A and B are shown apart, each in its own frame.
Chain A
Amino acid sequence: MINYRLKRGLKHIVIWVFIMFAIFPIIWALSAALNPSNTLMGQRLIPENASLKNFVALFNNKQHPFPIWIWNSVKISLIVSLITVILTSLAAYPFSRFRFKGRRQGLFIILLVQIFPQMLAMVAIYLLFLNIQNYIPILSINTHMAVIVIYLGGAVGINTWLLKGYFDTISRSLEEAAQIDGATRFQAYYKIILPLAKPILAALFVIQFINTYNEYVLASIMLNSSDKFTLAVGLQMFISENYGQRWGVFSAAALLGAIPITVLFLVVQDYLVTGLTGGAVKE
């Protein structure tokens, strides 16, 4: 019996060791954000004279407009995830419902393409836009439009497979009934399949939102003026060689930028795991 209790206790201790590891940077960032001295030097876990000075400083920094960076990130992520949901649900529908020539090849190509992370081709993408901007000024380097278009391209592949798999599980009888009643193909898709697929569409939206918000490389290549930065690019620029002088304000910005995503993530965590493992864990 004692042995059993000892085991129980040990279990909790090991778990707590890892929890300490998990929250270690978060706690210190919180402490730095509340510490008015704004420097790494002599940081204590519980800051003296704790205040919200760093948070106030965030909103009064003309050279580094944090609110604009956060807004840019949110705006780009919202647009990209909304359009991604529309485009991929459209693309997945015929793969699930129609039998046409080239269907298997199409699925295969999409599977093949999504093997290569889009950012691998960053050099080519950058040079492509360097050319495109001579003809289509709204897609110039340093525009949000260009970044959005890039993200859309990267989002289609894997998500089409995810949605197709889900559509396959929806029974066809409702659509058949609707078509007998005279609904067009598109109406069947729009009024029957989409409402039934709401849960996966919502999950896809959130996954895409988080992924877009977190993207750094491509945004850093494409955006080069402070008012256009996303939070990832802006924060990097702000802190990279200035840990000594900007630690507090940075930590405040980091917490503000992280909280919405973290909460969103924790709310939908069960969906995310299903989406991320992509059915590879077979039950």
Chain B
Amino acid sequence: MLSSWQGRSKHPWTILFLCLFDALTLWGAILLLNDRNYLYLFFLLITAISINYIYLSEKCYPLRYILPGTFFMFLLVVYPIFYNIYISFTNYGTGHILSKEQVIQKLEERYYIPSKPEEYYFTVFKSPDGSKFILALEDDKGQLYLGENGEIILRSNSPEYFIKRNHEGTINSINGYEKLTKKELFKYLSILQGIEFIKNQDSVIRMKDTSTYVLCRKQYQYLPQNDKIIDNKNNKEYRPVDGFFTSSEGEKLLPGYKTYIGWQNYFKLITDRSIATPFLQVFTWTFQFAFLSVLGTFLIGVLLAILLNDNKLLFKRLYRTLLILPYAIPGFISILIWRGLFNEEFGVINNILKALSISPFSWLTDATCTKLALVLVNLWLGYPYMMLIILGSLQSINKTLYEAAAIDGASGWQKFSHITLPLLLVSVGPLLISSFAYNFNNYSVIYLFNKGRPPMIGADTPAGKTDILITYTYRLAFETGQGADFGLASTVTILIFIITAIITQVNFGFTGALEDVKGND
């Protein structure tokens, strides 16, 4: 039986590969365990176990072929889609980059000097090779402490230190470490500033100025059982609200943390006027742009295809090659060239207009003109594809239909509108829809031509008057002038996903692509 694969032995290469893979997995698992990243650890182990199973079990033989490719697909297409959905329900972005645990850790590293500071006068003693220091600290009651390696102890409790004093009673050396002069003190200042001593769990002793150290107390303390932070300085309480630890008066501790915020991003897009208004404009223009592009390229494509669909036409092959040039040149290059030609001051197009005594257009600074230019550029980029597929489709139309029409005395236009166009729309229809979906997300044209500019004035989020949804997403996430808002960007992405899915659903209705799947029994 052909479709069977049972009874095949395992190849030594498979075993070798599995050993290597498992070794790597183990190494990764240890790293993740160290980091306490249990979520990733879980995914890693699940993946590892399934891979081992697939390559050892006879039953999973077909999967051995399918897995390598689909592994990348799942990691870099499927997983990002779900991750995107998750991010759209968070406030992830500038000011909310760290996790709550990381923010708590950061806050607990902050110290303050109490209003009645405990100060210590200090002298520094340096080891003969200059790499280690011992500090002698004296508080205002005359108690002497010794500090080394981040620890501080009362002199009377530390008999192991041998102290040498001069006749006036000041200390000359400790354990053979020599006292630093004022001059040397400045030389080592940057090192000394980094030295601090842990007094107890919530206070440290740090350098205040060149003669004193001071006791600093931990400012914030997190109470896990109540999920709140206490400010030791003034006993204020901060509770977690929308990604900030916030006091009852609404005072926020910075930085904020990344957290689940429910549907807030979605509501913002609809209800927050300063966000919703530009979003609606972007949304509308996205549809207009895609629609005009498809309609225009289709019309040009039909015209050229009908002209070229003539075997007696001289230079047919040459014409075809010249006409598909725009499709053959890398898009990013031709768009950048077009931008140069549309330059307002010196560009070729305005020069030509001037020579024809037409007043030049503001191609890059006026919204309407930019939109016109964008559609023009996109027609240039897109018509060859339409021309090629329509040419293919025209050749498949049955010639006898035209003969029959001619006998009935139909005019050229009647033949076109009653035979060619309807048949074309049936065969090319699905491609028109996928072309619509493509232009709906045509990032390169919009971004490379004018970066979505001119900007919308007074919008709360960065938006341009010629931005489409996908370039708007990019702005929200990566144009850092106003700070990144990954959460909102992901929300817009989800909307694009939904629209794309609807367009495709319509398209499947046309092509019966799903029937193709069903036909695979």
Interfacial residues, chain A to chain B (CB-CB below 8 A): 11-12, 14-15, 18-19, 21-26, 28-29, 32, 39-43, 87-88, 90-91, 93-95, 97-100, 103-104, 106-108, 110-111, 113, 115-128, 131, 134-135, 149-150, 152-154, 156-157, 160, 172, 175-176, 179, 184-186, 189, 210, 213-214, 216-217, 221, 232, 235-236, 239-240, 243-244, 247, 250-251, 254, 257-258, 261-262, 265-266, 269, 273, 276-277, 280-283
Contact = CB atoms under 8 A, between A and B. Distances in A.
Contact of B307 (A14, A32, A43, A235): A14
Contacts of B92: 127
B438 to A, nearest CB: 8
A117 B322 CA distance: 30
Given A28-B341, A152-B76, A91 B69 contact: yes
Contact of B303 (A14, A24, A39): A14
Contacts of A28: 337, 341, 348
A221 B473 CA distance: 13
B348 A23 contact: no
B405 interface: no
Given A110-B73, A111-B513, A125-B76, A21 B380 contact: yes
B481 to A, nearest CB: 15
Contacts of B340: 29, 32, 40, 239, 243, 247, 250-251
A185 B346 CA distance: 65
B517 A98 contact: no
Nearest to B300: A18
Given A120-B500, A232-B332, A157 B327 contact: no
Given A214-B331, A232-B330, A239-B340, 20 more contacts: A15-B323, A19-B319, A22-B325, A25-B338, A29-B340, A41-B346, A43-B348, A43-B351, A91-B70, A121-B84, A122-B477, A135-B35, A149-B76, A186-B11, A236-B332, A251-B337, A262-B328, A269-B324, A269-B328, A273-B392
A43 B470 CA distance: 35
Contacts of A176: 2
A52 to B, nearest CB: 19
Contacts of A156: 69-70, 72-73
B496 interface: yes
B325 A23 contact: yes
A262 B473 CA distance: 31
Nearest to A100: B62
A41 B84 CA distance: 46
Interface string B58-101: 00011101101110110111111101100100001000000000
A90 B62 CA distance: 10
B513 A43 contact: no
A115 B443 CA distance: 17
Given A104-B521, A266-B328, A273 B389 contact: yes
A131 to B, nearest CB: 8
Interface string B312-351: 0110000101111111111111101111110101111001
Interface residues of B, number: 105
A281 B451 CA distance: 35
A243 B344 CA distance: 11
Contact of A239 (B61, B334, B336, B447): B336
Interface in B1-34: 2-3, 5, 8, 11, 28, 31-32
B482 interface: no
Contacts of B504: 115
A91 B74 CA distance: 13
B73 A121 contact: no
Contacts of B351: 43
Nearest to A184: B8
A265 B328 contact: yes
A261 B77 CA distance: 27
Contacts of A273: 388-389, 392
A157 B66 CA distance: 11
A216 B497 CA distance: 20
B441 interface: yes
Chain B contact surface mostly: helix
Nearest to B488: A123
B304 A18 contact: yes
Contact of A123 (B70, B304, B493): B493
A128 B61 CA distance: 31
Given A25-B334, A40-B346, A175-B2, A120 B497 contact: yes
8 contacts: A14-B307, A28-B348, A40-B345, A98-B3, A115-B500, A128-B83, A262-B328, A265-B328
Contacts of A189: 65
Nearest to B84: A124
A244 B500 contact: no
A31 to B, nearest CB: 9
B501 A122 contact: no
Contact of A135 (B31, B83, B313, B427): B31
A174 to B, nearest CB: 11
Nearest to B377: A25
Interface in B270-292: none
A165 to B, nearest CB: 9
A123 B473 contact: yes
A18 B336 contact: no
B64 to A, nearest CB: 8
Contacts of B451: 240
B489 interface: yes
Interface in B471-500: 473-474, 477-478, 486, 489-490, 493, 496-497, 500
Interface centre among A22, A94, A257 (most CB of B within 10 A): A22
Contacts of A95: 66, 520
A60 B431 CA distance: 45
B54 interface: no
Contact of B431 (A103, A269, A277): A277
B430 interface: yes
B393 interface: yes
A160 B68 CA distance: 12
Contacts of B430: 280
Nearest to A19: B322
Contact of A98 (B62, B72, B310): B62
A44 B478 CA distance: 39
B149 interface: no
A160 B520 CA distance: 14
A120 B8 contact: no
Contacts of A117: 441, 500
Given A19-B322, A40-B340, A277-B392, A93 B443 contact: no
Contacts of A23: 322, 325
B141 to A, nearest CB: 49
A25 B77 contact: no
B113 interface: no
Nearest to A93: B65
A97 B2 contact: yes
B81 A99 contact: no
Contact of B330 (A120, A121, A127, A214): A214
Contacts of A15: 304, 307-308, 319, 323
